[in-house]
Each structure stands twice: as structure tokens, then as C-alpha cells.
Amino acid sequence: MTPDELKIAVARAALPHVVEGALLGVGTGSTANHFIDLLAAEKIQVAGAIASSEASAARLRGHGIPVLALDDVIASGRRIPVYIDGADEIDPGLHLIKGGGGALTREKIVAAASDCFVCIADDSKCVDVLGRFPLPIEVIPMAAALVARALSALGGVPKIRDGFVTDNGNVILDVSGLKISDPVAFESELDHLTGSVTNGLFARRRADIALVSSAEGVRTLRG
Ligand code: 5RP
């Protein structure tokens, strides 16, 4: 199977996790894009989608799926039963690295607001220890050098993502050279870096379920 076929297979496997008639959190990236297209093609009805990026919001709207603002949803006391999104890395405890597409901040917010996070990925994303994929960190532009210096002191090699601006008007540092054996503790440590908005470790709010595709089919992992 090609990489794209593996993404389509796992996106399709996520469809039964959608609660029909309810709100749905929708992630960002090529796997999430396949999921959005299949959701529309299969005519699965949701009350509305909460998107984790402007790109996903545009794709949802292009299919006629209403997109709601998270803040309005939460303020009105409504629940988001399921959030479906891809990942850049998944460890055996379903801790994730995300943000390869630069949408980590809104992804973390929608994941935090959702009752169940279903992660969809092909098995090239599965690792024993997080860190092979450079960890994205969204940073306030004026603090990029300051945060980079702090990340270097932590043993990482930060590199600014050239020419990239997030939906929130910030920049991304991609940090290589990390071996993240305690993702929960490291996420908390990174949360304290002044000038950083969000780090791409999804550890405290990890995935509840990971659907992982390979040539043998799609397997379901639970945290
Ligand atoms: C975007 C993300 C994506 O979920 C992640 O990069 C995986 O993308 P893809 O499905 O294209 O491999 O975190 O910020």
C-alpha cells in the first residue's frame, strides 16, 4: 500500500467513532484531510465541526459541514464527544508529538475540550520513545531567540521553521536531538518556557484511542 492509501484506510476506520448528530472536533494535516473528505462522502451528519486550523475549517465548509467557534460551544455548555486528528509520533502510552503541520496550539485546545481523542496514523508514526520527529514549539515572534536558547540548554537543537506563520500569528521552532522518555514531565517543563505558546507534546492530554494502519490492516490501541 502507498503512504496515501494507508492514510485513507485509517481515516476510514475513524468514521465509526463519529457520534452522529453530535459536535465533532476535527484535526489538521493530510490524514485529517482524508477523514474530512470521507465524512462528507459518506454523508455522516454531525451537528457541527470544531476545526483545529483555518485550513481544516475551509475544507469542512467546502463540503457544506458547518464549523462552529470553540468558545461559543463551550460557553453554551455543549460537549464535544470526539476529536479526530493525526500525529507525527505515537509512543506505546499514546503520548504524541504533533504540530508538523503547525496547528499544534489549536489542536491542543480542541483536544483538551473533547471527551475522547481518537488519533489516526499509519504505523510509520509509531516509536518506542518520542523524539525522532523534531518537536514543534509555537513561540511569540519576539521571544524566538530567547526560547531557542532555553531549548538548547535543555539539550535540544532548535531550528526556526522558515517562512512559516501559524494561524495565531506566531512562529515555530522545530527541536531535534531530544529523547523524551518522560513525556508528561517534559511537557510540563516546556510549558514553563517564557515566550513559548504551546509545545507539540500531547502527553497530559494524550490520545484515548489510536487507530494505526499498516499493510496488514488497521489496529486499535487504547491508552
Ligand atoms: C498538524 C499535525 C498533524 O496531525 C501531523 O503533522 C500529522 O500530519 P499528517 O496526517 O499530514 O501526517 O499535528 O499540526
For 196-219, the pLDDT digits (tens) are 999 999 999 999 999 999 999 999
What are the residue boundaries of the structural domains of the chain, listed by start? 3-127+204-222, 135-198
| CATH class of the region 3-127+204-222 | alpha beta
Please give the Cα distance from 180 to 173 (Å, whole number). 17
- The residue-averaged pLDDT of 169-192 equals 97
The pLDDT-based confidence of 91 (bands split at 50, 70, 90) is very high
Hey, whose CA ends up nearest to atom 10 of ligand 1? 31
Q: Which of 4, 26, 88 to mutate to test the pocket of ligand 1 (most atoms within 8 A of CB)?
A: 88
Q: pLDDT-derived band of residue 98, with 50, 70 and 90 as boundaries?
A: very high
pLDDT value for 66: 98
Q: What is the pLDDT of residues 64-75, one digit of tens each?
A: 999 999 999 999
Is the CB of 50 within 6 Å of ligand 1?
no
Beta strands in 75-184 (DSSP E): 80-85, 89-90, 96-97, 114-122, 135-139, 157-160, 171-176
Backbone angles phi, psi at 43, to 5 degrees: 55, 40
Q: Find the 172 Cα to ligand 1 centroid distance in Å.
A: 14
Is the model's pLDDT at 84 over the cut of 90?
yes
Report residue 223's pLDDT band, with 50, 70 and 90 as the boundaries.
Answer: confident
For residue 94, what pLDDT is reported? Answer: 98
Distance (Å, whole) CA 26 – CA 93: 22
Catalytic residues: 107
Average pLDDT of the segment spanning 157-173: 98
Give me ligand 1 centre to Cα 9, in Å: 16
Query: How confident is the prediction for the chain on average, in pLDDT?
Result: 98
Assess whether pLDDT exceeds 90 at residue 52. yes
pLDDT (0 to 100) of residue 39: 98
Q: What is the arithmetic mean of pLDDT over 96-103?
A: 98
Taking the centre of ligand 1 as the mean of its atom positions, its distance from the CA of residue 141, in whole angstroms, is 22
Distance in Å, CA 76 to ligand 1 centroid:
30
pLDDT (0 to 100) of residue 151: 98
Q: What is the reported pLDDT for 150?
A: 98
Comparing 3-127+204-222 with 135-198, is the CATH topology the same?
Answer: no
How far apart CA 26 and CA 39 sit, in angstroms, is 11
Beta strands in 75-169 (DSSP E): 80-85, 89-90, 96-97, 114-122, 135-139, 157-160
What does the alpha-carbon distance between residue 63 and residue 51 come to, in Å, rounded to a whole number? 13
> To test ligand 1's pocket by mutation, which of 7, 30, 118 has the most ligand atoms within 8 angstroms of CB?
30
What whole-number distance in Å separates Cα of residue 163 and Cα of residue 160? Answer: 9
The closest of 129, 128, 109 to 117, measured between CA atoms, is 109
Per-residue pLDDT, 81: 98
Q: Fill in the DSSP letter of residue 141.
A: G
Mean pLDDT score, 131-153:
98
Are the CB atoms for 197 and 170 separated by under 8 Å? Answer: yes
Which residue has the CA at smallest separation from atom 4 of ligand 1? Answer: 86
Q: What is the CATH number of domain 135-198?
A: 3.30.70.260
Ligand 1 site, residue 87, Cβ cutoff 6 A: yes
- Decide: 101 in ligand 1 pocket, CB within 6 A: yes
